[in-house]
Amino acid sequence: MNPVVGLDVAKGESQVQAFLNNSKPYGKSFSIKHTREELDHFIGFLKEIEEVTGKMPMIILESTGHYHTPVIQYLEEQGVLYILLNPIISYQAKKSSLRKVKTDAIDAYQLCVLYYKEDFEPHKIRGIKLLDLRNLSRQQEIVTNMYVEAKLQFHTSLDQVFPEYRKVFGDLFSKVSLLMLKEYPTSEAVLTVGESKLAESVMEFCPSRSGQWAWEKSKKIMDSASRNPFRTNVYQSHLINLRMYIELLFQYQGHLSDLEERIVALANEVEEYKIIQSIPGIGEKIAATIISKIGEIDRFNHPKKLVAFAGVDPSVHSSGKFTATINRITKRGSSRLRHSLYLAVLCGIRSSRNKKLKVFYDKKKSEGKPAKVAIVACMNKLLHWIYALLKRKETFLDLA
């Protein structure tokens, strides 16, 4: 027998349906709350099935944001293997049903049916360090998105108060730039204090730079204030918004810096991190992101599955005698993983840091492939290398 238990996860509870074998449901569907007591009862239910079939059932469930987290953590504590599905896969399977019925019980039932149709790889028990790394990486992504949104709102506020200021510093969001704008947010404030006081403030906020640099920046600030269309500020609300977004930007910068330090420190304790970093063009940040997204390489029994996980595999479209010759990549995996691979490829082929990758890129270009297509091919090649290195536990220098 090949037993399986489908879990349709919702907020705070899950619907459970068990099968002893294909087309053999076991009992009726029931729900469990995500409490320790009811999860303990769920383990008892699994052991009951094990007594009937002689085999511990596989658990299959969808990834549902953070709602599935307590269930996954509990299963891993108990050493129970599970399959965590991308919702796209189960959604496509449900679409094939002739009857359009949507209930939690039916969803749990369909997950069991899907288990027997497909060849899924179970999640291995993930180490605490890799789980921490994955969670920190995900949090970094969330804070980065919030930081980008704050930047956009900051630009809007700046355009209503001091638009010419954006031409003063090379990096508008540097510490000295934001501190100067917070201290002197209007043309009136800049012109009132004068160039000498501005130079002192620049030196105070950025003591590592020379006095000459400070005087050059103070002169630029004075010039920008003279050109600024808003000589006096009419709306106090604009100033309040500007100062608020400056504070938010500093907070997000601090959080991102802290997360980056923690991610790199944690990644240094993981063996796979050093292996991936041995590939030319992959630095600390990119390596940490890649390993946090991939997790245990044992989850994949073939490099093509890792490529599909990253969403770098080409889509296929054919019907009858027609077969499409131009196919985009599926993009069904982690967008952050793809972005990290893209950066790794760019770093590798520029200045020929990664000679093997540069030769492969030039070969694709000589075949008439556009630059973007050649880069995607390099991302695919990079994933094959990563798979081989992690499987063999070797560095890039050992790769034949």
CATH 3.30.420.40 location in the chain: 4-125
| Weakest mean pLDDT among 281-295, 316-330, 377-391 | 316-330
| Weakest mean pLDDT among 71-80, 119-128, 163-172, 224-233 | 119-128
Q: Which residue has the tokens 């009726």?
A: 28
Supply the pLDDT for residue 95: 57
DSSP states along 280-333: TT--HHHHHHHHHHH--GGG-SSHHHHHHHHT-SBP--EETTEE-S---B---S
CA distance 142 to 65: 13
* Mean pLDDT, residues 346-352 taken together: 87
The token pair at 371 is: 């630059």
CA angle (220, 222, 227) in 5-degree steps:
95
pLDDT tens-digit profile of 258-301?
998 998 888 888 888 889 999 999 988 889 888 888 877 887 88
CA distance 380 to 308: 10
Supply the pLDDT for residue 317: 40
Going by pLDDT thresholds of 50, 70 and 90, the confidence category of residue 336 is confident
Supply the pLDDT for residue 329: 58
- Choose the most confident range, by mean pLDDT, from 1-15, 70-84, 286-300, 320-334: 1-15
> Treating both helix axes as pointing N-terminal to C-terminal, what angle do 371-392 and 355-366 enclose, rounded to 10 degrees?
140
Q: Considering only CA atoms, which of 5, 30, 31, 33 is closest in space to residue 19? A: 5
**Residues 195, 219: contact at Cβ < 8 Å?**
yes
Strand order, beta sheet including 4-9: 24-33, 13-21, 4-9, 58-62, 82-85
Q: Is the model's pLDDT at 46 over the cut of 70?
A: yes
- The more confident residue out of 107 and 217 is 217
The residues facing 85 across adjacent strands are: 62
Q: Is the dihedral of CA 245, 246, 252, 255 positive or negative?
A: negative
Q: Is the model's pLDDT at 319 over the cut of 60?
A: no
Supply the pLDDT for residue 342: 92
Range 26-55 burial, b when 16+ CB lie within 10 A, else e: beebeebebeeeebeebeebbeebeeebee
Torsion, CA 221, CA 222, CA 223, CA 229, rounded to 10? 90
Q: What average pLDDT does the structure give for the chain? A: 86
Residue 125 burial (10 A CB sphere; 0-12, 13-18, 19+): middle
> Treating both helix axes as pointing N-terminal to C-terminal, what angle do 69-78 and 36-53 enclose, rounded to 10 degrees?
50
Domain formed by 4-125, architecture: 2-Layer Sandwich (3.30)
The strand pair at 322-323 and 58-62 is best described as unpaired
The strand pair at 82-85 and 58-62 is best described as parallel
CA distance 205 to 312: 45
In this structure, what are the phi and psi dihedrals at residue 24, rounded to the nearest 5 degrees? -125, 80
